[in-house]
Amino acid sequence: MIKAGVIGGSGYTAGELLRLLAYHPQAEIDFVYSTTNAGKPVTSVHQDLLGEVHLNFTDTINSNVNVVFLCLGHGQSKAFLAANPFSVNTRIIDLGNDFRLESDSLFDGKQFVYGLPELNRKAIKKANYIANPGCFATTIQLALLPLAQKGLLQNDVHINATTGSTGAGVQPSATSHHPWRTGNMSHYKAFEHQHVGEINQSLKQLQSGFESELLFIPNRGDFTRGIFATLYTPLTTDFEEVQHIYKEYYTNEPFVNVTTDSINLKLAVQTNKCFISLEQKGKYLLITSVIDNLVKGASGQAIENMNLMFGLEETTGLKLKPAGF
C-alpha cells in the first residue's frame, strides 16, 4: 500500500483527495496535516467521511511516507518544503502553482514535472516531483493540445470559461457568499489570469513557434463544481481533419472524450473526465471543454499522477460515478 500524507488538510482540494484516497485500493492515508485543526478528527471538517476516515488532523509530518500531497495556498509550497524536509524516497505532488512554470520547476535539487498526463505521461512515470496543473489550465490545454501538436495554432484563441464556487476555496469571502453568488454571474482577471502562463508553456512545448494570444475571460458561475469553457479560433485546416486529429490524440486516453454532439458542464462533474466537443462555425473552429475543477482540475489529476508514478493502472481509484444531476 502507498502511504500518503496530505498537507493543508482542511481545504477543498485536500477534502477531495481524502474522498478519493479513502476508497483507493492501493493507497492509504497516513496523516493529514493541518495546523489549525491539529488534534481534531478529520471528520470534524470533512464530515461526509464519517465511518471512512478515522484519523485526527496532525501538526506533525511523517517524513517517510511514499507520497505527499501539498494542498496549500498558492505560493506556500516552497516555504513548507523548506521547513519540512521529506525522505528522498518520498514523492511530492504539489497542487499549488509554485512549480508549474519551467523557471520555477527546480527547487532545492528537486525537479518538478508538469503533471498533465495527456501531455507528459512518460515524464510523469519517471518523476519524483509533480506540479499538478491548474483547473482552468487543464480545461483549456485539453481543448488545444491536439492543434498545437500539429502546429495548427496560427491565430489568437478566444476563450471564455466559467468556474464553480469551489474554485475559490473553503475560506468564505464576499464573492463566494451564498446570497451574492446565487443567481449571479461576474468575471474577474479578464485577459490576466495566472493560468495563461502554464497554458502557453504547454502549447509551446508542442508547437515551439506558438506566438498567438490567448484572450481569456474567466467567469464566476452560479454553481459549485466544474468549469465550462468555450474556445474559438480560425480553422487552419478542414474540419474533418480537425476531428481526426483530436480523436487520434485522445484515442487511448482514459479520461478524455471527444464528440461533435453538444455537451454540457454536468457531464464531467464528480468525475476525472474531460469532455470536448468540436464544431465548425463558418470559418471558425468552436471547441467546448468541460471538467470538474476539484477532480480532473485538482485532486483527481493528482491521484492520476500518483498512479502513474507508482506504476499503477492510471484509472485506479478514479472510476467515479458521474454526478448525473
Which of the residues 49 through 108 are near its own copies (CB under 8 A)? 49-51
* DSSP one-letter string for 80-136: HHHHS---TT-EEEE-SSTT-SGGG-EETTEEEEE--HHHHHHHHHH-SEEEPPPHH
Q: How far apart are CA 188 and CA 58, in angstroms?
A: 36
Nearer to its own copies, 100 or 220 (CB): 220
CB of 324 to its own copies, least distance (A): 6
Q: Which of 77, 165, 233, 289 binds its own copies (CB under 8 A)?
A: 165
Looking at 265, 285, 298, 302, which residue binds its own copies (CB under 8 A)? 265
Query: At closest approach, how far in Å is the CB of 317 from its own copies?
Result: 9
- Asked whether position 162 contacts its own copies by CB under 8 A, the answer is yes
Rounded Cα distance between 95 and 90, Å, is 16
For residue 191, give every residue at least 6 positions away whose Cβ sits within 8 Å of its Cβ, in sequence order, or none: 215, 216, 217
State the minimum distance, in angstroms, from the CB of residue 169 to its own copies. Answer: 9
Choose which of 54, 74, 177, 244 interacts with its own copies (CB under 8 A).
Answer: 177
CB-based contact 81:55 (threshold 8 Å) = no
User: Quick one: which of 100, 275, 278, 307 contacts its own copies (CB under 8 A)?
Assistant: 275
Backbone angles phi, psi at 169, to 5 degrees: 90, 180
For its own copies, how many residues bind (rule: CB under 8 A)?
78
Cell numbers representing residue 164 in the block:
464553480
The one-character DSSP state at 76 is -
Q: Taking CB under 8 A as the rule, does residue 37 contact its own copies?
A: no
CB nearer its own copies, residue 124 or residue 318: 318
Q: Give whichever of 101 and 254 is closer to its own copies, judged by the CB atom.
A: 254
Cβ proximity to its own copies, 100 vs 273, nearer residue: 273
Task: Give me the active site residues, please.
Answer: 135
Contact 256, 138 (CB under 8 A): no
The C-alpha atoms of residue 206 and residue 246 are separated, in whole angstroms, by 14
Stretch that binds its own copies, among 26-34, 95-103, 117-125, 189-197 (CB under 8 A): 189-197
> What is the helix (H) or strand (E) element at residue 199, kind and residue range?
helix 195-206
Cα torsion 85, 311, 293, 166: sign: negative
Using rule CB under 8 A, residue 217 touches its own copies: yes
Site mask for its own copies (CB under 8 A), range 219-258, x = bound: x-xxxxxx-x-x-x------------------------x-
Interface region with its own copies, contact rule CB under 8 A, candidates 70-78, 97-105, 121-129, 155-163: 155-163
